[in-house]
Amino acid sequence: MAQTNSSFNTSGTMWFLQRVTGIILVALLAFHFIVLHFINHAAEISFAGTAVRMEQLWYFILMIAFLVTAAFHGVNGVYNALVNQGISGRRKTIAKWVLGVAGVFVVCQGLVVAFAFIGVI
C-alpha cells in the first residue's frame, strides 16, 4: 500500500489555526454579504461609500480581520495542499518561504489600501 503524505497533524498549531480561521472567515463572509449585498445592494456600492464605511472603526477592524484571516487561511491551505501532494525537502522549504512572503505582501498591500481609504496614507 502506498504511503499517504498528510499535513493534517491534529495536535499541531497550524492545523488548529486553519480551523479557527475557517470559522472566523465564515462569520466575516456572512457579515460581508449582509452589508454589501443586502443592506447596500451591489449597484449602490461606490468608492465614496466604501470610504465612508471604512472610516467607521468597527467596520475597519472587521475588514482588517477579514484580510489577515483570509491571507493566512489561503496561504496555509495552499502549503498544506502541496505537502499532501508529496512536496518535500528543498522544494517544501522554498514553497514555505514563497508562500509566506506572498502572504505578507498581500496583507501589507491590503493594509495600504485600507489606510488609504481612511486618509492616513
Instruction: Decide if 6 is inside a domain.
Output: no
When divided into structural domains, the chain yields a total of 1
Parent domain of 90: 14-117
Instruction: Decide if 65 is inside a domain.
Output: yes
Instruction: Decide if 4 is inside a domain.
Output: no
Instruction: Decide if 2 is inside a domain.
Output: no
Instruction: Decide if 5 is inside a domain.
Output: no
Return the ∠ at Cα 14 (arms to 13 and 15), rounded to 5°: 90
Instruction: Decide if 8 is inside a domain.
Output: no
User: For 80-93, what is each residue's pLDDT tens digit?
Assistant: 999 999 999 999 99
State pTM to two decimals: 0.83
Q: Tell me the C-alpha distance between 8 and 45, whole Å.
A: 40
What is the CATH classification number for the domain harbouring 31?
1.20.1300
User: For 19-47, what is each residue's pLDDT tens digit?
Assistant: 999 999 999 999 888 888 888 777 777 88
Instruction: Decide if 110 is inside a domain.
Output: yes
Q: Stretch 1-10: mean pLDDT, rounded?
A: 60
Could you tell me which of 103, 102, 96, 98 has the C-alpha nearest to residue 73?
A: 103
Which is more confident, 108 or 6? Answer: 108
- pLDDT for the residue 121: 79
Q: Tell me the C-alpha distance between 107 and 99, whole Å.
A: 12
Q: Which amino acid is at 30?
A: A
- For residue 6, name the pLDDT band (cuts at 50, 70, 90): low
